[in-house]
Amino acid sequence: MEKEPRAAVIGWPVKHSRSPIIHRYWLEHYGIAGSYDRLALRPEEAEGFFRTFISSGLVGANVTIPHKETAFSFCDEVDETARRLGAVNTLVVRDGRLVGSNTDGIGFLGSLDSGAPGWDEIGANAVVLGAGGAARAVVWALLSRGLTVHLFNRTRSRAEALAERFGAEVHVHDFAKVSEILEGASVLVNTTSLGMEGQPPLDIDLAPLPARAVVTDIVYVPLETPLLALARARGLLTVDGLGMLLHQAVPGFELWFARKPEVTPELRRLVLADMGQTEADLGGALT
Ligand code: ATR
């Protein structure tokens, strides 16, 4: 009898990862015999682990902080997105080779497509706040839909390094210009950790944003960040950060368990409950 496929999320620390909830929900929902676990991997053990991943018995894995770049460097093959980002979050063993992809950007797009259909046709300019690993995936995603990206970051040099990776469609600005740039923007994305539980809120005036603009945050604890609350109070369309987490999991599940899963309201509720939140925390909106 063939062994049941086993997958895992690999990180350090990894105990707070919600990926097991998501994948185990789908395994049960679709009646698939398989498993999905947490694997805590110390940074000093990462190279050895990814070098011999093929013999781990896993069909694949999600890779999270701080291993996305290390995993990338031990793949036999990576897809175009992972190559552009220099990081992988999804691994699969295919024909004895370790194949890496990056689905964070796809998750971001999936979330906006379902939460704000047509968001990429409102205008040509997107504003991205932050220039860390998450910003990289978001910038890739926005460019893939033909938008021009305007990047703001506390540490300007980091924003410049990110822009260099992507070319002429990414512009770096000082915060002094944020109002002026927001006036012409159709999408605003926060990729900084500001607004996250225990962090100060993002200090930004949304008044210059056009009324049809969409505001989204990759922070999802709390589900309604101060930024999203502010945008909603202004009557702007908002998309919370949980959708990105759920949608980035879809391609991995399909690769490992041969079934394309759906992001359902029930799955959202399950993950929210684990975070001690409900849809009511988002003003009742079900996105
Ligand atoms: P991730 O990989 O999740 O994006 P990261 O690489 O640590 O995490 O990036 C965090 C982002 O939040 C960065 O853009 C960071 O700005 P710096 O590049 O200047 O560090 C931003 N950030 C974190 N705390 C901040 C703060 N108090 N004020 C402004 N920006 C902040």
Q: Which atom of ligand 1 is nearest to the CA of 199?
A: 27
State if pTM tops 0.85. yes
Mean pLDDT of 20-40: 98
Q: For the segment 125-183, what is each residue's pLDDT rounded down to a tens digit?
A: 999 999 999 999 999 999 999 999 999 999 999 999 999 999 999 999 999 999 999 99
- Residue 155 CA from chain centroid, whole number: 21
| Structure confidence at residue 285 (pLDDT) | 45
With residue 164 as reference, give the H or E element that holds it: helix 156-166
Per-residue confidence (pLDDT) for residue 283, from 0 to 100: 52
Q: Given ligand 1 and candidates 190, 192, 244, which is best to mutate, with the most ligand atoms within 8 Å of its CB?
A: 192
pLDDT digits (tens, 9 = 90+) for 82-140: 999 999 999 999 999 999 999 999 999 999 999 999 999 999 999 999 999 999 999 99
What structural domains and CATH numbers belong to the chain? 6-102+246-282 (3.40.50.10860), 106-240 (3.40.50.720)
Q: Can you tell me the distance from the alpha carbon of 287 to that of 275, in angstroms, rounded to the nearest whole number?
A: 17
| C-beta 158 within 6 A of ligand 1 | yes
Does residue 155 line the site of ligand 1, with CB under 6 A?
A: yes
- Closest residue (by CA) to atom 2 of ligand 1? 133
68 is catalytic: yes
b/e string for 40-64 if b means 16 or more Cβ within 10 A? ebeeeebeebbeebeebebbbbbbb
Contacts of 234 (CB under 8 A, 6+ apart): 206, 207, 209
At 35-74, the pLDDT tens digits run: 999 999 999 999 999 999 999 999 999 999 999 999 999 9
Residue with tokens 């924003």: 159
pLDDT over 90, % of the chain: 93
CA 131 to ligand 1 center in whole angstroms: 7
pLDDT at 213 over 70: yes
Q: What is the DSSP letter of 267?
A: H
Residue 1 is predicted with a pLDDT of 58
- Give the mean model confidence (pLDDT) for residues 184-201: 96
Instruction: Quickly state the pLDDT bin for 284 (edges 50, 70, 90).
Output: very low
